[in-house]
Chain A
Amino acid sequence: MNHVTVESADPARMAAPEGGREIELRDALREAMSEEMRRDARVFLLGEEVAQYHGAYKVSRGMVDEFGERRIIDTPISESGFAGMAIGAAMLGLRPIVEFMSWSFSLVAADPILNNAPKMLYMSGGQFGCPIVFRGNDGAGGQLGSTHSWSVEGLYSNVPGVKIVIPSSPYDAKGLLKTAIRDDDPVFFLESERMLSVKGPVPEEEYLIPFGQAIVRRAGRDCTLASWGRPVNFCLEAAEQLAKEGIDCEVIDLRTIRPLDIDSVVRSVRRTNCCVVVDQSWSFGSPGSELAAQVHAACFDDLDNFVHRVHSADVPTPYASHLEQEYLPNVRRICEAVRHATYRA
Chain B
Amino acid sequence: MPSVSPSQGNSLYQVHGATERPAVAPPRHATAELRISNDALLKWLRDMMLIREFEVRCMQAYQEKKIGGFCHVYIGQEAVAVGCTSALEAHDPMVTAYRDHGHALARGMSARACMAEMFGKIGGCAKGKGGSMHMFDRANNLFGGHGIVGAQTPLGAGLAFATKYEDEVINGGRSKRVTLCFLGDGALNQGAFHEAMNLSGLFDLPVIFICENNGYSMGTSIHRGTTMGHDLSAKAAAYGIDSMIIDGMDFLEVHAGMSKAVTDARTRSRPWFIDMRCYRFKGHSMSDPRKYRTREEEETYEAGDPIGKLDKLLRSRGALNDDDQKEMQKGIREQVREAIVWADAQPVPSMAELYHDVFVEPMGPYTGTCFPTMLKEQGMRAPWREEPCP
Q: Which residues of A contact B (CB under 8 A)?
A: 2-6, 41-42, 44, 70-71, 75-76, 78, 80-94, 111-112, 115-116, 120-129, 131, 160-161, 163, 183-185, 212, 259
B158 near A84 with CB under 8 A, answer yes
Whether A4 lies near B124 (C-beta < 8 A) is: no
Besides the known contacts A81-B195, A121-B360, A127-B136, 9 further A-B residue pairs in the complex with CB atoms under 8 A apart: A3-B365, A44-B165, A90-B158, A90-B162, A92-B159, A121-B369, A124-B126, A126-B372, A128-B136
Number of contacting residues on B, CB 8 A? 60
A76 partner, pick from B138, B192, B199, beta carbons under 8 A: B199
B residues in contact (CB < 8 Å) with A: 93, 95, 124-130, 134, 136-138, 143-144, 146, 148, 151, 153-163, 165-166, 168-170, 191-192, 195-196, 198-199, 202, 356-361, 363-366, 369-372, 375, 382-385
Q: Given A93-B383, A121-B358, A127-B138, does the pair A88, B154 have CB atoms closer than 8 Å?
A: yes
CB <8 Å contact, A128 and B144: yes
Bound: A85/B199 CA distance, A: 9
Query: How many Å lie between the Cα of A322 and that of B100 in the bound state?
Result: 55
Chain A residues lying within 8 Å of B358, measured Cβ to Cβ, are: 121-122, 160-161
The 10 closest A-B pairs by CB, nearest first: A88-B158, A84-B154, A81-B195, A125-B126, A4-B364, A92-B162, A88-B155, A125-B127, A124-B136, A184-B360
Q: Does B359 contact A121, Cβ atoms closer than 8 Å?
A: yes
Q: Closest Cβ of chain A: how far from B271's Cβ, in Å?
A: 12
Q: Which residue of A lies closest to B373 (CB)?
A: A125
Contacts of A4 in B (CB 8 A): 363-366
- Chain B residue numbers with a CB within 8 Å of A122 are 129, 357-358
For residue A85, which residues in chain B have a CB less than 8 angstroms away from its CB?
Answer: 154-155, 157-158, 161, 196, 199
Residues of B within 8 A of A89 (CB): 158-159, 161-162, 165
Contact B363 A212, beta carbon cutoff 8 Å:
yes
Closest to A83 in B: B154
Known: A80-B192, A125-B127, A129-B369. A91 touches B155 (CB 8 A): yes
Which A residues touch B162, using CB under 8 A? 88-94
Knowing A88-B154, A111-B148, A111-B192, say if A161 contacts B199 (CB, 8 Å): no
Q: What residue in chain B is nearest A259 (Cβ atoms)?
A: B363
The answer to whether A5 touches B126 (Cβ under 8 A) is no
Nearest chain A residue, comparing its CB with the CB of B137 = A127
Nearest CB to that of B349 among chain A residues? A125
Is A111 touching B365 in the complex (CB atoms < 8 A)?
Answer: no
Contact B359 A84 (CB under 8 A): no
Q: 20 A-B pairs, CB-CB below 8 angstroms?
A: A4-B366, A42-B170, A70-B168, A80-B195, A81-B199, A84-B151, A84-B153, A84-B154, A90-B158, A91-B143, A92-B163, A92-B166, A93-B383, A122-B129, A122-B358, A123-B126, A123-B144, A124-B138, A127-B126, A259-B364
